[in-house]
Amino acid sequence: MPEKGEPQKKRVTIDQVAALAGVSKTTVSRYLNQRYDALSEDTRQRIHQVIDELNYRPNRIAQSLKARNSRMLGCLVSDISSPFSSIIVKGINSVCTQVGYQLLLVDSEDDPERERTGIQDLLENQVDGLIVNTTGQNDEYLLSLHQRGIPLVLADRCLSAPGMIDTVATENYHVTYQCITYLRGLGYEQVAFFTQGNRYVAPRILRFQAYCDAMRENFHLAGEERMYQFQLEDTADCVEKLKSFREKFPGQRLAVFAVNGVTMLHMLQGIQIAGIRIGKDFGVCGFDDWGWADLIPPGITTITQNSWEVGRRSAELLLKRIQGGGPTGPVYEELPNHLVIRGSTVSR
């Protein structure tokens, strides 16, 4: 705020930007609304330079009224307490910040009713489009939104029948199969699949399917009989499941595979309480490499997935749809995942 008696700086106007850039006000407006297809690279650079020099900030309220949009994106995640979800949000927000959009966020807490209510709240706030990390239990509702013409992108979790709504995900099946096969090559004789539940969540379903196929084809064992589901909030339940797995196969080299990073953290806590030593006789591996995996002795073998990039690409695709662009028909984009080997899985 200027001192008393000091003249207040006038707000820079779009007319000033246009005059200094040597273009029309309409051209500047096109640039601000990301309608770059109508602008040459030279024009875009000149406008960008003038905006930067003048520190121009467009009046977003007037802009949204004129364009009949809010310049807000709605994002619903299944569990904001999960690092995976929060990293997705950071990827989405990086795009929003770059193009002058605001992000409204809702956490469904993996509850399908909260998901529907949260989406409705976002729509009532007149968001221009939605990015949804779905619970997996509202396929019909999400399809109805898509059919109504609401711009919508699914992040990480697709519908039970993929390919009907724009989706950005990571590859789950082949990298899981690769991990289980790798354990066989190290000489582990039994591999358990630990999860907080797979029933509706598409990535977990794919991972479990790959695990079962790899167990059958590499170990000649039924993976379905080696799946252990435990309550995340009940550490004693996890400890009991770990002990049950060990007691079922005494004297054999065992390994456990965690369906995701949240399961992995709880499973590692259970392993510590149970007094199990990780390594040669009890291998540990699973999804999500969140920075702590190489800090926990002896280092945890993980499958790393770029959730930030999932968020970023979801936001970019949604903005294209809002502007009426993008490929014809639904997009299903699958980003690669990678197996990172550490000391928790070793040969005899």
Could you give all domains of the chain from N- to C-terminal order, each with its CATH number?
Answer: 14-58 (no CATH), 70-169+307-335 (3.40.50.2300), 173-306 (3.40.50.2300)
For residue 63, what pLDDT is reported? Answer: 53
- According to the 3-state scheme, what is the secondary structure of the chain? CCCCCCCCCCCCCHHHHHHHHCCCHHHHHHHHCCCHHHCCHHHHHHHHHHHHHHCCCCCHHHHHHHHCCCCEEEEEECCCCCHHHHHHHHHHHHHHHHHCCEEEEEECCCCHHHHHHHHHHHHHCCCCEEEECCCCCCHHHHHHHHHCCCCEEEECCCCCCCCCCCEEEECCHHHHHHHHHHHHHHCCCEEEEEECCCCCCHHHHHHHHHHHHHHHHHHCCCHHHHEEECCCCCHHHHHHHHHHHHHHCCCCCEEEEECCHHHHHHHHHHHHHHCCCCCCCEEEEEECCCCCCCCCCCCCEEEECCHHHHHHHHHHHHHHHHCCCCCCCCCEEEECCEEECCCCCCCC
User: Which tens digit of pLDDT belongs to each residue from 181-209?
Assistant: 999 999 999 999 999 987 889 999 999 99
For residue 61, what pLDDT is reported? Answer: 46
User: Which tens digit of pLDDT belongs to each residue from 46-57?
Assistant: 998 999 888 887
Q: Which residues of the chain have pLDDT under 50?
A: 1-8, 61, 64-66
